[in-house]
Structure 1
Amino acid sequence: MTIAPQADIALATRLFAALEAMNETGPGMTRDAYGEGEERAHRLVRAEAEALGLSCATDAAGNLYMTLAGSDAALHPWIVGSHLDTVPHGGNFDGAAGVLAGLAAIAGLKRAGLAPRRTITVMAIRAEESTWFPVSYIGSRAAFGRLDAATLDLPRVDTGRSLAAHMAALGFDPEAVRAGQAHLRPGAIHGFIELHIEQGPRLEGEGVPVGLVTGITGSFRYRRGVCFGNYGHSGAVPRGHRQDAVMAFADLAMELDRRWAAMDAAGDQLTITFGEVATDPSMHAFSKVPGEVRFCLDVRSDRQDLLDRLHAILMETAGEIERRRGVRFAFGDRTGSTPALMDRRLRAAIEAAAQASGIPTLTMPSGAGHDAATFAHAGVPAAMIFIRNQNGSHNPDEAMRMEDFAAAATLLARVLGGEP
């Protein structure tokens, strides 16, 4: 008779509570990347892994590997996990659910007396959130030796100290990261599975506890955009003589929104977000025509051709507004990431396990970025399991029902305990 393992939800519940209790800067959670918040979380899960009898190791970038040896050393291992850092005043489940699900799945296998043939490593990945350093997937890229060396010199947004300095302060080896030292080899990994809260409303709206991800969006981003116009007297400068930076920016935002609506109606999935917009507080005034607006732009899609099309629209629209309104747009450095497809075979195996377990699922893309994209780009078969989430993410009100987490973590345990 085949034993169907159950993830150890009591273990995960206790660890979620411990993560919440260690937070010092409410509201919500602030586990700063390469700071004390993230480090405390890593110490917590490492202690739990050691209590489970797992072997633990870190790489040069500080990624944590917690490993249960399989019975057949010739087989390539599973890696499961996610990140433990958060945005400032974020939620307790974003990222952490994937790490704790891995530990809960292993604990469930051990409790059921099941010894998996493949080695299973739970990976707690550093610095997934690009809020702290303006680069995506720092820890996972470093694990494969694929982090651009110049990234080590970027300052953290709050401290001004470089990524290299933050790594070194925690006892890691930034110069090995700079040299491209790799801890993971793509050809030596059977597959990577990341559990994560959905961060959006689809699963909640559909009444489904678990999502199976088809792909992860890529993006292009401008973090330091500026529209330059000219300051003027609000009553003395007529419309035809104005170079109003706010009105010019508004034209840009509304035209992009109009194009987005047309693409959305055609079934082309992307998102456009101006997450920060501000006039210069040292210069603006109630009775001034605004001469400068600063903004950031985040465009995401699971199709590179849509990203390229929207970027061309952005540049064309900005040029037209410059000519018409007498302003100048400066977008600054462009950053972003490439869309990543999840492995169909691995997703099918997870779906089959869900059907056998009676767990309802919804197949869907991921609008947010995740470390699974790094694994997929490296050539590792990668999959993501979403957990239904309430109240969105990246905010203190982020929520997750433990019964939904239990369904996803138990699904993970059954996939790891089998041979998909």
Structure 2
Amino acid sequence: MMPGESSIEAGLALARQLFDTIGRRSFDGVGFTRAAYGEGEQTAHDLVAAAARDLDLDIAVDAALNLSMTLRGDDPDPPPLVIGSHLDAVPQGGNFDGLAGVLAGLACLAAYRAAGVRPPRDIVLIAIRAEESAWFGAQHIGSRAMLGTLDPRILDEARRIDSGLSLAEHMRQAGADVGRLRNGAALVDPARLRGYLELHIEQGPLLVSRALPLGIVTGIRGNLRCRKATCVGEYAHSGTAPRALRRDAVFAVSELVGRIDELWRVIEDEEGGDLVATFGRFSTDPNAHAVTTVPGEVVFSFDARSHAQAVLRRVEAALRQAMDEIASRRGVTFTCDSFTGDAPAAMNPDFQGLLSQGCERLSIPAMPIASGAGHDAGDFAAAGVPSAMIFVRNDKGSHNPQEAMEFDDFALGVRLMVWFVANLKG
């Protein structure tokens, strides 16, 4: 039995109240800051947990401090459905990234409570810790700790950008069981979950441009990253060093950028493949550069994303080959931190079909859409859990205070989630 409209409205009213309260508590004068394993994230967790207790949900916190809120189903035998997202936000970010997914799940469970009916199975809403890589340089910490895929070395190697303290120290201060996390064992058995569902704002412009409120995610791009690379050449006088004798680091890295840009064009325009590539940092030493100085060092970063792992492997090979060739010809050296990355993650086709069916039944305009950004849903999918995502139209992009999700669009996402919960079989 599915909750009626008045019950769904009650759940939406709770979500609206929490958007306002958490937003006020985390606004820093410019944007919304909720530091991973810090005060802002903890405040949001406390407020959500208090609301869940008022709904008489079963509350639990795991070793990584992920918060689970369970509504018991009509039948205890089927494996539970997990609904989840994160509550941290990047420094001076927006109020909807992550928070919308947790509050959508809470609104869904509140609707069942208001209707006085049970869902067909247990529904576990999880507020996941530390999804954003902005804080520790490592992403999806909470979900990976839960699924047993968090590299324990990160606990000591990753340091938060504002405090300089390690992830382990911040976890310990927040009350996490760091000792248990060091053994890398999963905190939940993925094989015992029916699936994972996450609502999230779209972080791009496609739904806005198509005038559609919702998107059904088909997959999440994998990524290839080098967080810091350095090209070292030789400083020289800009007026006296001829081209043939220069070891110009800026020209060398600029050539590298051009080579990757041309590869991107070939893959996208000529082959019809999927790729985005970004050199996100590109800087000379401010203590050494000058208008009259040939730059001898450039520090840069690289990020490539694709739905095809073969494309990412091809890009890495091309990047390394170009570095070697340019270094030999221009007399520079390239050094890189380790390349890291995540494999592309496909969303479950059956779940996508059920969400599409729900949109038809509820007369909600929607479209299939790929995700260029990473999400906790990708980690659940990689662990073998059938996973799905609902994107909500959001103007002005993401990771900035201008995130502009309309509450009416969010409400459609909640209605679709309630329908999905009521109609999921197996």
Shift of 1:149: 1.1
What letter matches 1:182 in structure 2?
A: A
CA contact (8 A) 1:273 1:299 kept: yes
Q: Does the CA contact (< 8 Å) of 1:4 and 1:414 recur in 2?
A: no
1:57-136 aligned at under 5 Å gives the runs 57-136=60-139
Aligned partner of 1:326 in structure 2 is 331
Greater mean alpha carbon deviation, residues 373-382 or residues 152-161:
152-161
Name the counterpart of 2:347.
342
Structure 1 segments of 4+ aligned residues over 6 angstroms from their partners: none
2:262 maps to a residue whose letter is: R
State whether structure 2 residue 245 is matched by structure 1 residue 260.
no
State the TM-score, normalized to the length of structure 2. 0.96
- Which residues of structure 2 form unaligned runs of 5+? none
TM-score, normalised relative to structure 1: 0.97
Q: Specify the SS of the correspondent of 1:128.
A: coil
Contact 2:3 2:111 in 1 (8 A): no
Q: CA deviation at 1:334?
A: 1.2
Per the TM alignment, residue 146 of structure 1 is displaced from its structure 2 partner at its CA by: 2.1
Asked if 1:371 corresponds to 2:376, the answer is yes
CA distance in 2, matches of 1:180, 1:312: 31
Give the SS at the match of 2:153.
Answer: helix
In 2, the alpha carbon distance for the partners of 1:271 and 1:239 equals 33
Instruction: Select which of 194, 213, 221 maps to 2:198.
Output: 194
1:304 alignment counterpart: 309
Structure 2 CA distance, aligned partners of 1:253 and 1:399? 33
Distance in 2 (CA, whole Å) between partners of 1:217 and 1:280 is 33
Distance (whole Å) between structure 2 residues aligned to residue 201 and residue 3 of structure 1 = 32
Q: Which amino acid aligns with 1:411?
A: L
User: 1:7-18 maps to which residues of 2 (within 5 A)?
Assistant: 8-18=11-21
Q: Which residue of the partner structure matches residue 211 of structure 1?
A: 215
How many Å separate the matches in 2 of 1:218 and 1:37?
Answer: 29
Query: Residue 409 of structure 2 aligns with which residue?
Result: 404
User: Structure 2 CA distance, aligned partners of 1:380 and 1:228?
Assistant: 45
* In structure 2, C-alpha distance between the alignment counterparts of 1:53 and 1:4, rounded to whole Å: 20
Question: Which ranges in structure 1 are unaligned for 5 or more consecutive residues?
Answer: none
Deviation at 1:417, TM superposition (A): 2.2
Q: Alignment partner of 2:405: what SS?
A: coil
Shift of residue 280, structure 1, vs aligned partner: 1.0
CA–CA separation in structure 2 for the residues paired with 1:117 and 1:2: 10
- Check conservation: 1:127, 1:139, Cα contact below 8 A: yes
How far 1:249 sits from its partner (Å)?
A: 1.0
CA RMSD in angstroms, aligned pairs only: 1.4
Shift of 1:113: 2.9
Work out the CA distance in 1 between the residues paired with 2:161 and 2:12: 36
Does the residue aligned with 1:22 lie in a helix, a strand or coil?
Answer: helix
Q: 2:215 touches 2:391 (CA, 8 Å); kept in 1?
A: yes
Select the residue among 34, 40, 46 that pairs with 2:49. 46
Match of 1:227?
A: 231
- Counterpart of 1:71, as a letter, is D
Deviation at 1:3, TM superposition (A): 5.4
Residues 377-399 of structure 1: CA deviation (Å, up to 9, x unaligned): 11111001100110001112111
Contact map agreement 1:109 1:417 (CA 8 A) in 2: no
Q: In structure 2, how many angstroms separate the alpha carbons of the residues matched to 1:152 and 1:325?
A: 40
- 1:135 & 1:302 partners in 2: Cα distance? 21
**1:123, distance to aligned residue in structure 2 (A):** 0.4
1:181 shift after superposition? 3.6
